[in-house]
Amino acid sequence: MKSETLKLAWFFIAYIFNFGDAIFTMYAISKGATELNPVMAFALDIDPVFFLCVKVLVFALALEYIVRKAPKLLIFTAVLYTLVMGWHLSFWLGAL
Domain that holds residue 74: 2-94
The pTM assigned to this predicted structure is: 0.88
63-89 pLDDT, tens digit per residue, is 999 999 998 899 999 999 999 999 999
Cα separation, 61 vs 36, in Å, equals: 22
In this predicted model, which residue has the larger pLDDT, 94 or 24?
A: 24
Cα separation, 12 vs 78, in Å, equals: 8
Q: Count up the domains in the chain and report the number.
A: 1
